[in-house]
Amino acid sequence: MQDHLIPGKGIISGISWSAFERFSVQGIQFVVFVLMARILVPTDYGLVSMLAFFIVIAQLIAEGGLSQAIIRKLDRTEEDCSTAFWVNLAIGIGLYLILFVAAPLVSWFYEEAALTNLLRVLALCIVIQSTLVVHRAILTSRLDFKTQAKSTLVGALMSGLVGLIMAYNGFGAWALVGLQLTNQVATAATLWIVTDWRPKWQFSSCAFRDLFGLGSKLLACNVLDSLFQSLYTLTIGKVFSAYALGCYSNARQLGSITSENLSRVVQRATYPMFCNFQNDIERLRNGVRAYLRLATFFIAPLMLGLAAIAEPLTLALIGPQWLYTARLLRILCFSFLFFPLNSINYMILEIKGEGGTYLKLQTFSVVSGLVILFVMLPFGLSAVCCGLFANSAIGYMVNSRVAGAKINLGFIRQVKSILPILINATIMGIVVYGVQTILFGEWLRVGVGILVGLLSYIGLSVVFQTSTCELVVELLRKKK
Protein backbone atom coordinates (compact mmCIF):
# COMPACT_ATOMS: atom_id res chain seq x y z
CA MET A 1 0.00 0.00 0.00
CA GLN A 2 1.47 3.35 -1.01
CA ASP A 3 2.20 5.77 1.81
CA HIS A 4 0.50 8.71 0.13
CA LEU A 5 -2.80 6.86 0.32
CA ILE A 6 -2.57 6.79 4.11
CA PRO A 7 -2.99 10.08 5.98
CA GLY A 8 -0.73 11.07 8.82
CA LYS A 9 -1.46 10.62 12.50
CA GLY A 10 -2.78 14.17 12.76
CA ILE A 11 -5.44 13.44 10.16
CA ILE A 12 -6.32 10.09 11.71
CA SER A 13 -6.63 11.79 15.09
CA GLY A 14 -8.78 14.46 13.48
CA ILE A 15 -11.03 11.84 11.91
CA SER A 16 -11.24 9.99 15.23
CA TRP A 17 -12.27 13.06 17.21
CA SER A 18 -14.56 14.23 14.42
CA ALA A 19 -16.18 10.79 14.42
CA PHE A 20 -16.45 10.82 18.20
CA GLU A 21 -18.10 14.23 18.09
CA ARG A 22 -20.55 13.25 15.36
CA PHE A 23 -21.52 9.82 16.56
CA SER A 24 -21.51 10.42 20.30
CA VAL A 25 -23.78 13.40 19.72
CA GLN A 26 -25.84 11.48 17.18
CA GLY A 27 -26.08 8.58 19.62
CA ILE A 28 -27.51 10.84 22.30
CA GLN A 29 -29.79 12.59 19.85
CA PHE A 30 -30.95 9.26 18.47
CA VAL A 31 -31.95 8.02 21.93
CA VAL A 32 -33.72 11.32 22.57
CA PHE A 33 -35.42 11.09 19.17
CA VAL A 34 -36.72 7.57 19.88
CA LEU A 35 -38.07 8.56 23.31
CA MET A 36 -39.68 11.76 22.03
CA ALA A 37 -41.15 10.09 18.93
CA ARG A 38 -42.98 7.66 21.20
CA ILE A 39 -44.62 10.63 22.97
CA LEU A 40 -45.15 13.15 20.19
CA VAL A 41 -47.16 12.64 17.02
CA PRO A 42 -46.07 13.05 13.37
CA THR A 43 -47.95 16.37 13.16
CA ASP A 44 -45.71 17.88 15.88
CA TYR A 45 -42.64 17.04 13.83
CA GLY A 46 -44.36 18.28 10.69
CA LEU A 47 -45.06 21.73 12.16
CA VAL A 48 -41.41 22.25 13.12
CA SER A 49 -40.20 20.81 9.81
CA MET A 50 -42.30 23.42 7.97
CA LEU A 51 -39.96 26.04 9.44
CA ALA A 52 -36.78 24.23 8.37
CA PHE A 53 -36.79 25.95 4.97
CA PHE A 54 -36.48 29.40 6.54
CA ILE A 55 -34.09 28.48 9.37
CA VAL A 56 -31.61 26.50 7.27
CA ILE A 57 -31.38 29.07 4.48
CA ALA A 58 -31.02 31.93 6.98
CA GLN A 59 -28.21 30.13 8.83
CA LEU A 60 -26.30 29.57 5.60
CA ILE A 61 -26.69 33.20 4.54
CA ALA A 62 -25.57 34.34 7.99
CA GLU A 63 -22.42 32.23 7.64
CA GLY A 64 -21.78 33.88 4.29
CA GLY A 65 -19.39 31.16 3.13
CA LEU A 66 -16.77 32.72 5.39
CA SER A 67 -16.15 29.51 7.34
CA GLN A 68 -14.72 27.65 4.34
CA ALA A 69 -12.87 30.78 3.26
CA ILE A 70 -11.09 31.01 6.62
CA ILE A 71 -10.12 27.33 6.48
CA ARG A 72 -8.92 27.57 2.90
CA LYS A 73 -6.94 30.80 3.40
CA LEU A 74 -3.57 29.58 4.63
CA ASP A 75 -2.28 33.10 5.44
CA ARG A 76 -5.34 34.28 7.39
CA THR A 77 -4.81 37.00 9.99
CA GLU A 78 -6.51 38.08 13.21
CA GLU A 79 -8.10 40.89 11.24
CA ASP A 80 -9.63 38.35 8.84
CA CYS A 81 -11.16 36.34 11.69
CA SER A 82 -12.54 39.35 13.55
CA THR A 83 -14.00 40.83 10.37
CA ALA A 84 -15.73 37.53 9.59
CA PHE A 85 -17.15 37.32 13.12
CA TRP A 86 -18.78 40.75 13.08
CA VAL A 87 -20.16 40.23 9.58
CA ASN A 88 -21.68 36.88 10.59
CA LEU A 89 -23.23 38.37 13.73
CA ALA A 90 -24.67 41.41 11.96
CA ILE A 91 -26.24 39.31 9.21
CA GLY A 92 -27.59 36.83 11.78
CA ILE A 93 -29.35 39.57 13.75
CA GLY A 94 -30.74 41.13 10.58
CA LEU A 95 -32.14 37.82 9.35
CA TYR A 96 -33.75 37.12 12.72
CA LEU A 97 -35.56 40.48 12.60
CA ILE A 98 -36.79 39.74 9.08
CA LEU A 99 -38.16 36.34 10.11
CA PHE A 100 -39.74 37.80 13.25
CA VAL A 101 -41.72 40.26 11.14
CA ALA A 102 -42.51 37.71 8.40
CA ALA A 103 -43.68 34.96 10.79
CA PRO A 104 -47.43 35.68 10.30
CA LEU A 105 -46.96 35.31 6.53
CA VAL A 106 -45.44 31.86 7.06
CA SER A 107 -48.47 30.87 9.14
CA TRP A 108 -50.77 32.16 6.41
CA PHE A 109 -48.90 30.23 3.72
CA TYR A 110 -49.18 26.91 5.55
CA GLU A 111 -52.57 27.74 7.09
CA GLU A 112 -51.17 26.86 10.53
CA ALA A 113 -51.62 29.65 13.10
CA ALA A 114 -49.22 28.01 15.58
CA LEU A 115 -46.25 28.62 13.27
CA THR A 116 -46.02 32.37 14.06
CA ASN A 117 -44.75 31.99 17.61
CA LEU A 118 -42.85 28.80 16.83
CA LEU A 119 -40.83 30.59 14.14
CA ARG A 120 -40.16 33.68 16.25
CA VAL A 121 -38.61 31.58 18.99
CA LEU A 122 -36.85 29.00 16.83
CA ALA A 123 -35.23 31.72 14.66
CA LEU A 124 -33.12 32.76 17.67
CA CYS A 125 -30.93 29.80 16.68
CA ILE A 126 -29.74 31.87 13.70
CA VAL A 127 -28.22 34.57 15.92
CA ILE A 128 -26.61 32.07 18.28
CA GLN A 129 -25.19 30.02 15.41
CA SER A 130 -23.64 33.12 13.83
CA THR A 131 -21.43 33.61 16.91
CA LEU A 132 -19.81 30.18 16.41
CA VAL A 133 -18.84 30.23 12.73
CA VAL A 134 -15.33 31.64 13.16
CA HIS A 135 -14.55 29.62 16.28
CA ARG A 136 -15.36 26.39 14.47
CA ALA A 137 -13.46 27.40 11.33
CA ILE A 138 -10.31 28.15 13.34
CA LEU A 139 -10.55 24.87 15.25
CA THR A 140 -11.20 22.91 12.05
CA SER A 141 -8.16 24.46 10.35
CA ARG A 142 -6.09 23.26 13.34
CA LEU A 143 -7.72 19.80 13.13
CA ASP A 144 -8.85 20.41 16.72
CA PHE A 145 -12.03 18.36 16.77
CA LYS A 146 -11.52 17.41 20.41
CA THR A 147 -12.51 20.89 21.57
CA GLN A 148 -15.51 20.94 19.24
CA ALA A 149 -16.57 17.53 20.52
CA LYS A 150 -16.75 18.86 24.08
CA SER A 151 -19.12 21.67 23.16
CA THR A 152 -21.42 19.63 20.95
CA LEU A 153 -21.61 16.83 23.51
CA VAL A 154 -22.70 19.27 26.21
CA GLY A 155 -25.26 20.73 23.82
CA ALA A 156 -26.68 17.30 23.00
CA LEU A 157 -26.98 16.30 26.66
CA MET A 158 -28.58 19.55 27.83
CA SER A 159 -30.97 19.81 24.89
CA GLY A 160 -31.99 16.17 25.18
CA LEU A 161 -32.89 16.67 28.83
CA VAL A 162 -34.92 19.81 28.10
CA GLY A 163 -36.67 18.25 25.09
CA LEU A 164 -37.69 15.13 26.99
CA ILE A 165 -39.00 17.09 29.97
CA MET A 166 -41.08 19.31 27.69
CA ALA A 167 -42.38 16.35 25.67
CA TYR A 168 -43.42 14.40 28.77
CA ASN A 169 -45.21 17.49 30.05
CA GLY A 170 -47.36 17.85 26.94
CA PHE A 171 -45.67 20.76 25.13
CA GLY A 172 -46.01 19.05 21.73
CA ALA A 173 -44.17 20.88 18.93
CA TRP A 174 -42.72 23.33 21.47
CA ALA A 175 -40.66 20.44 22.88
CA LEU A 176 -38.86 20.21 19.53
CA VAL A 177 -38.25 23.98 19.51
CA GLY A 178 -36.92 23.82 23.06
CA LEU A 179 -34.66 20.95 22.03
CA GLN A 180 -33.07 22.88 19.16
CA LEU A 181 -32.76 26.20 20.99
CA THR A 182 -31.20 24.64 24.09
CA ASN A 183 -28.73 22.77 21.91
CA GLN A 184 -27.55 26.03 20.31
CA VAL A 185 -27.29 27.91 23.62
CA ALA A 186 -25.43 25.12 25.45
CA THR A 187 -23.06 24.48 22.55
CA ALA A 188 -22.27 28.18 22.14
CA ALA A 189 -21.67 28.74 25.85
CA THR A 190 -19.35 25.73 26.09
CA LEU A 191 -17.38 26.60 22.96
CA TRP A 192 -16.77 30.15 24.15
CA ILE A 193 -15.58 28.82 27.52
CA VAL A 194 -13.18 26.15 26.21
CA THR A 195 -11.60 28.18 23.39
CA ASP A 196 -9.18 31.06 23.77
CA TRP A 197 -10.04 32.99 20.58
CA ARG A 198 -12.01 36.19 21.05
CA PRO A 199 -13.02 38.67 18.35
CA LYS A 200 -11.33 42.04 18.43
CA TRP A 201 -13.03 45.32 17.67
CA GLN A 202 -11.66 45.21 14.14
CA PHE A 203 -13.28 45.37 10.76
CA SER A 204 -11.53 45.57 7.41
CA SER A 205 -13.40 46.01 4.17
CA CYS A 206 -10.37 44.63 2.32
CA ALA A 207 -10.35 41.52 4.49
CA PHE A 208 -14.10 41.09 3.95
CA ARG A 209 -13.78 41.40 0.16
CA ASP A 210 -10.95 38.87 0.18
CA LEU A 211 -12.83 36.35 2.31
CA PHE A 212 -16.13 36.90 0.54
CA GLY A 213 -14.38 36.46 -2.79
CA LEU A 214 -13.23 33.03 -1.61
CA GLY A 215 -16.49 32.08 0.06
CA SER A 216 -19.24 33.71 -1.99
CA LYS A 217 -19.49 31.02 -4.64
CA LEU A 218 -19.33 28.30 -1.99
CA LEU A 219 -22.11 30.15 -0.17
CA ALA A 220 -24.21 30.22 -3.33
CA CYS A 221 -23.62 26.48 -3.80
CA ASN A 222 -24.53 25.67 -0.21
CA VAL A 223 -27.63 27.84 -0.37
CA LEU A 224 -28.72 26.20 -3.61
CA ASP A 225 -28.24 22.72 -2.15
CA SER A 226 -30.09 23.56 1.06
CA LEU A 227 -32.73 25.46 -0.89
CA PHE A 228 -33.36 22.35 -2.94
CA GLN A 229 -33.59 20.10 0.15
CA SER A 230 -35.74 22.60 2.02
CA LEU A 231 -38.07 23.12 -0.95
CA TYR A 232 -38.97 19.46 -0.62
CA THR A 233 -40.10 19.98 2.98
CA LEU A 234 -41.90 23.18 2.04
CA THR A 235 -43.72 21.51 -0.86
CA ILE A 236 -44.58 18.34 1.07
CA GLY A 237 -45.92 20.41 3.95
CA LYS A 238 -48.03 22.53 1.63
CA VAL A 239 -49.27 19.89 -0.82
CA PHE A 240 -49.75 16.95 1.54
CA SER A 241 -50.04 17.55 5.30
CA ALA A 242 -48.12 18.13 8.52
CA TYR A 243 -48.51 14.40 9.22
CA ALA A 244 -46.91 13.42 5.89
CA LEU A 245 -44.13 15.95 6.39
CA GLY A 246 -43.48 14.60 9.88
CA CYS A 247 -43.10 11.07 8.51
CA TYR A 248 -40.84 12.26 5.68
CA SER A 249 -38.66 14.35 8.00
CA ASN A 250 -38.13 11.47 10.42
CA ALA A 251 -37.36 9.10 7.55
CA ARG A 252 -34.67 11.53 6.41
CA GLN A 253 -33.34 11.82 9.95
CA LEU A 254 -33.06 8.06 10.38
CA GLY A 255 -31.37 7.63 7.02
CA SER A 256 -28.95 10.53 7.37
CA ILE A 257 -27.59 9.38 10.74
CA THR A 258 -25.15 7.08 8.95
CA SER A 259 -24.69 8.37 5.39
CA GLU A 260 -24.43 12.13 5.84
CA ASN A 261 -22.70 12.04 9.21
CA LEU A 262 -20.03 9.50 8.29
CA SER A 263 -19.33 11.41 5.07
CA ARG A 264 -19.00 14.72 6.89
CA VAL A 265 -16.77 13.22 9.56
CA VAL A 266 -14.19 12.14 7.00
CA GLN A 267 -14.56 15.20 4.77
CA ARG A 268 -14.27 17.70 7.62
CA ALA A 269 -11.04 16.10 8.82
CA THR A 270 -9.47 15.55 5.38
CA TYR A 271 -10.46 18.83 3.72
CA PRO A 272 -7.68 20.86 5.42
CA MET A 273 -5.13 18.16 4.48
CA PHE A 274 -6.21 18.08 0.84
CA CYS A 275 -6.07 21.88 0.70
CA ASN A 276 -2.37 21.71 1.58
CA PHE A 277 -1.54 19.83 -1.62
CA GLN A 278 -4.19 21.34 -3.88
CA ASN A 279 -1.53 21.85 -6.56
CA ASP A 280 -0.21 18.26 -6.40
CA ILE A 281 -2.63 16.52 -8.76
CA GLU A 282 -1.24 13.01 -8.35
CA ARG A 283 -1.30 13.09 -4.57
CA LEU A 284 -4.76 14.63 -4.54
CA ARG A 285 -6.07 12.01 -6.99
CA ASN A 286 -4.68 9.11 -4.96
CA GLY A 287 -6.09 10.52 -1.75
CA VAL A 288 -9.53 11.14 -3.24
CA ARG A 289 -9.62 7.63 -4.75
CA ALA A 290 -8.72 6.09 -1.39
CA TYR A 291 -11.43 8.00 0.46
CA LEU A 292 -13.95 7.29 -2.28
CA ARG A 293 -13.39 3.57 -1.73
CA LEU A 294 -13.43 3.90 2.04
CA ALA A 295 -16.63 5.95 2.09
CA THR A 296 -18.37 3.44 -0.18
CA PHE A 297 -16.98 0.48 1.80
CA PHE A 298 -18.67 1.67 4.98
CA ILE A 299 -21.73 3.58 3.78
CA ALA A 300 -23.02 1.27 1.03
CA PRO A 301 -23.67 -1.70 3.36
CA LEU A 302 -25.15 0.60 6.01
CA MET A 303 -27.63 2.13 3.58
CA LEU A 304 -28.61 -1.08 1.82
CA GLY A 305 -28.80 -2.93 5.14
CA LEU A 306 -30.98 -0.19 6.60
CA ALA A 307 -33.27 -0.39 3.57
CA ALA A 308 -33.62 -4.13 4.14
CA ILE A 309 -34.70 -3.80 7.79
CA ALA A 310 -36.45 -0.40 7.57
CA GLU A 311 -39.90 -1.67 8.52
CA PRO A 312 -39.08 -3.81 11.59
CA LEU A 313 -36.52 -1.27 12.80
CA THR A 314 -38.98 1.63 12.65
CA LEU A 315 -41.77 -0.35 14.31
CA ALA A 316 -39.44 -1.55 17.06
CA LEU A 317 -37.97 1.85 17.81
CA ILE A 318 -40.80 4.36 17.53
CA GLY A 319 -43.99 2.38 17.19
CA PRO A 320 -46.71 1.54 14.63
CA GLN A 321 -47.86 5.16 14.27
CA TRP A 322 -44.69 5.70 12.21
CA LEU A 323 -45.22 2.82 9.74
CA TYR A 324 -45.44 5.26 6.81
CA THR A 325 -42.00 6.54 7.82
CA ALA A 326 -40.58 3.04 7.32
CA ARG A 327 -41.87 2.90 3.76
CA LEU A 328 -40.33 6.26 2.91
CA LEU A 329 -37.07 5.37 4.67
CA ARG A 330 -36.57 2.29 2.50
CA ILE A 331 -36.70 4.44 -0.64
CA LEU A 332 -34.59 7.27 0.76
CA CYS A 333 -31.76 4.87 1.72
CA PHE A 334 -30.98 4.43 -1.98
CA SER A 335 -30.79 8.20 -2.39
CA PHE A 336 -28.49 8.56 0.64
CA LEU A 337 -26.15 6.04 -0.95
CA PHE A 338 -25.03 8.76 -3.37
CA PHE A 339 -24.46 11.43 -0.72
CA PRO A 340 -20.77 10.63 -0.01
CA LEU A 341 -20.03 10.18 -3.70
CA ASN A 342 -21.41 13.59 -4.61
CA SER A 343 -19.79 15.22 -1.56
CA ILE A 344 -16.35 13.95 -2.54
CA ASN A 345 -16.70 15.34 -6.05
CA TYR A 346 -17.87 18.70 -4.74
CA MET A 347 -14.88 18.70 -2.40
CA ILE A 348 -12.55 18.35 -5.39
CA LEU A 349 -13.94 21.57 -6.86
CA GLU A 350 -13.63 23.40 -3.53
CA ILE A 351 -10.00 22.34 -3.18
CA LYS A 352 -9.16 23.35 -6.75
CA GLY A 353 -10.85 26.73 -6.28
CA GLU A 354 -13.43 25.94 -8.99
CA GLY A 355 -16.25 27.81 -7.27
CA GLY A 356 -17.88 28.74 -10.57
CA THR A 357 -18.02 25.12 -11.73
CA TYR A 358 -19.33 24.05 -8.32
CA LEU A 359 -22.11 26.63 -8.61
CA LYS A 360 -23.08 25.43 -12.09
CA LEU A 361 -23.29 21.82 -10.93
CA GLN A 362 -25.40 22.78 -7.93
CA THR A 363 -27.69 24.83 -10.16
CA PHE A 364 -28.11 21.86 -12.49
CA SER A 365 -28.89 19.58 -9.53
CA VAL A 366 -31.50 22.00 -8.16
CA VAL A 367 -33.20 22.54 -11.53
CA SER A 368 -33.32 18.83 -12.37
CA GLY A 369 -34.49 18.04 -8.84
CA LEU A 370 -37.33 20.53 -9.00
CA VAL A 371 -38.45 19.24 -12.39
CA ILE A 372 -38.50 15.68 -11.05
CA LEU A 373 -40.29 16.85 -7.88
CA PHE A 374 -43.18 18.46 -9.75
CA VAL A 375 -43.44 15.52 -12.15
CA MET A 376 -43.70 13.09 -9.23
CA LEU A 377 -46.02 15.12 -6.97
CA PRO A 378 -49.30 13.87 -8.51
CA PHE A 379 -48.24 10.27 -7.81
CA GLY A 380 -47.81 10.70 -4.06
CA LEU A 381 -45.05 11.07 -1.47
CA SER A 382 -43.45 7.68 -2.19
CA ALA A 383 -43.01 8.74 -5.82
CA VAL A 384 -41.43 12.01 -4.64
CA CYS A 385 -38.88 10.00 -2.66
CA CYS A 386 -38.16 7.87 -5.75
CA GLY A 387 -37.54 11.14 -7.59
CA LEU A 388 -34.92 12.07 -4.98
CA PHE A 389 -33.10 8.82 -5.70
CA ALA A 390 -33.22 9.48 -9.46
CA ASN A 391 -31.89 13.01 -9.04
CA SER A 392 -29.04 11.83 -6.78
CA ALA A 393 -27.99 9.23 -9.35
CA ILE A 394 -28.13 11.72 -12.23
CA GLY A 395 -26.22 14.24 -10.12
CA TYR A 396 -23.43 11.76 -9.43
CA MET A 397 -22.99 10.92 -13.10
CA VAL A 398 -22.67 14.61 -13.97
CA ASN A 399 -20.61 15.65 -10.92
CA SER A 400 -18.07 12.84 -11.23
CA ARG A 401 -17.61 13.52 -14.92
CA VAL A 402 -17.00 17.26 -14.42
CA ALA A 403 -15.21 17.37 -11.06
CA GLY A 404 -13.29 14.13 -11.56
CA ALA A 405 -11.84 15.48 -14.78
CA LYS A 406 -9.94 18.09 -12.72
CA ILE A 407 -7.76 15.33 -11.25
CA ASN A 408 -8.11 12.72 -14.00
CA LEU A 409 -10.57 10.64 -11.96
CA GLY A 410 -13.77 10.81 -13.96
CA PHE A 411 -17.03 8.87 -13.79
CA ILE A 412 -15.80 5.63 -15.37
CA ARG A 413 -12.68 5.45 -13.19
CA GLN A 414 -14.65 6.21 -10.06
CA VAL A 415 -17.23 3.53 -10.83
CA LYS A 416 -14.50 0.97 -11.50
CA SER A 417 -13.02 1.76 -8.07
CA ILE A 418 -16.27 1.27 -6.15
CA LEU A 419 -18.28 -1.21 -8.27
CA PRO A 420 -16.99 -4.37 -6.53
CA ILE A 421 -17.88 -2.82 -3.15
CA LEU A 422 -21.38 -1.95 -4.36
CA ILE A 423 -21.91 -5.50 -5.64
CA ASN A 424 -20.91 -6.97 -2.25
CA ALA A 425 -23.21 -4.54 -0.42
CA THR A 426 -26.11 -5.32 -2.76
CA ILE A 427 -25.74 -9.07 -2.22
CA MET A 428 -25.65 -8.48 1.52
CA GLY A 429 -28.80 -6.32 1.37
CA ILE A 430 -30.73 -8.96 -0.60
CA VAL A 431 -29.70 -11.69 1.85
CA VAL A 432 -30.71 -9.57 4.87
CA TYR A 433 -34.09 -8.67 3.35
CA GLY A 434 -34.83 -12.29 2.54
CA VAL A 435 -33.88 -13.55 6.00
CA GLN A 436 -35.84 -10.97 7.99
CA THR A 437 -39.06 -11.52 6.01
CA ILE A 438 -39.37 -15.13 7.21
CA LEU A 439 -39.05 -14.21 10.90
CA PHE A 440 -41.62 -12.94 13.40
CA GLY A 441 -41.22 -10.15 15.96
CA GLU A 442 -39.66 -6.77 15.15
CA TRP A 443 -36.63 -7.02 17.44
CA LEU A 444 -35.85 -10.57 16.28
CA ARG A 445 -36.02 -9.48 12.65
CA VAL A 446 -33.74 -6.52 13.35
CA GLY A 447 -31.22 -8.49 15.42
CA VAL A 448 -30.94 -11.41 13.03
CA GLY A 449 -30.85 -9.06 10.06
CA ILE A 450 -27.93 -7.09 11.48
CA LEU A 451 -26.02 -10.26 12.39
CA VAL A 452 -26.53 -11.84 8.98
CA GLY A 453 -25.59 -8.57 7.29
CA LEU A 454 -22.34 -8.22 9.25
CA LEU A 455 -21.23 -11.79 8.66
CA SER A 456 -22.11 -11.84 4.96
CA TYR A 457 -20.54 -8.46 4.17
CA ILE A 458 -17.34 -9.14 6.09
CA GLY A 459 -17.04 -12.51 4.41
CA LEU A 460 -17.60 -11.09 0.93
CA SER A 461 -15.14 -8.24 1.58
CA VAL A 462 -12.37 -10.51 2.84
CA VAL A 463 -12.72 -12.75 -0.21
CA PHE A 464 -13.34 -10.17 -2.95
CA GLN A 465 -12.13 -6.82 -1.54
CA THR A 466 -8.73 -7.60 -0.07
CA SER A 467 -7.15 -4.29 -1.15
CA THR A 468 -9.85 -2.22 0.54
CA CYS A 469 -9.63 -4.36 3.67
CA GLU A 470 -5.87 -3.80 3.69
CA LEU A 471 -6.45 -0.04 3.46
CA VAL A 472 -8.79 -0.17 6.46
CA VAL A 473 -6.24 -2.20 8.46
CA GLU A 474 -3.45 0.25 7.58
CA LEU A 475 -5.60 3.16 8.71
CA LEU A 476 -6.17 1.45 12.06
CA ARG A 477 -2.48 0.76 12.44
CA LYS A 478 -1.62 4.35 11.56
CA LYS A 479 -3.96 5.54 14.31
CA LYS A 480 -2.03 3.49 16.86
Q: Average the pLDDT over each of 107-111, 144-148, 398-402 and give the range with the smallest value.
A: 144-148
Name the burial class of residue 382, with classes exposed (0-12), middle (13-18) and buried (19+) by CB atoms within 10 angstroms of its CB. Answer: middle
User: Mean per-residue pLDDT for 297-301?
Assistant: 89
Tell me which of 321 and 308 has the higher pLDDT: 308
User: Of the candidates 88, 175, 178, which has an alpha carbon nearest to the alpha carbon of residue 126?
Assistant: 88
Q: Taking residues 446-474, what's their average pLDDT? A: 81
Residue 264 scores a pLDDT above 50: yes
Q: Is the pLDDT of residue 238 over 90?
A: no
b (16+ CB within 10 A) / e for 257-270: bbbbbbbbbbbbbb
Distances (CA, A) of 415 to 232, 296, 321: 29, 11, 40
Nearest to 310 by CA among 428, 442, 421, 440: 442
Categorize the per-residue pLDDT at 75 as very low, low, confident or very high, splitting at 50, 70 and 90. low
Distance CA 85, CA 203 (A): 9
- At a CB cut-off of 8 Å and minimum separation 6, what does 185 contact? 128, 155
The CA distance from 58 to 43, in Å, is 24
Q: Which of 23-32, 95-104, 397-406 has the highest mean pLDDT?
A: 95-104
DSSP state of 380: -
Query: Is the pLDDT at 123 greater than 90, yes or no?
Result: yes
- In contact, 391 and 368? CB cutoff 8 Å: yes
Please tell me what DSSP assigns to residue 16. H
User: Which residues have CB under 8 Å from 322's CB, separation 6+?
Assistant: 37, 42, 247, 250, 314, 315
Residue 300 DSSP one-character state: H
Q: Is-contact 221 363, C-beta < 8 A? A: no
Average pLDDT, the chain: 82
Of 20-24, 361-365, 395-399, the one with minimum mean pLDDT is 20-24
Q: What is the pLDDT of residues 57-66, one digit of tens each?
A: 888 777 766 6
Long-range contacts of 433-439 (CB under 8 A, 24+ apart): 433/307, 433/308, 433/309, 436/308, 436/309, 436/312
Give this prediction's pTM.
0.72
Is the confidence at residue 94, as pLDDT, over 90? Answer: yes
- CA dihedral defined by 286, 292, 297, 302, rounded to 10 degrees? 160
DSSP 203: -
DSSP per-residue string spanning 142-170: TT-HHHHHHHHHHHHHHHHHHHHHHHHTT
| Cα 316 from Cα 109, distance rounded (Å) | 36
What average pLDDT score do residues 27-48 get? 88
Q: Would you state the pLDDT for residue 6? A: 45
Which pLDDT band, with edges at 50, 70 and 90, does 389 fall under? very high
Question: What pLDDT is attached to residue 2?
Answer: 44
Best-predicted range by mean pLDDT (68-82, 120-134, 189-203, 344-358):
120-134
Query: Does position 78 have pLDDT exceeding 70, yes or no?
Result: yes
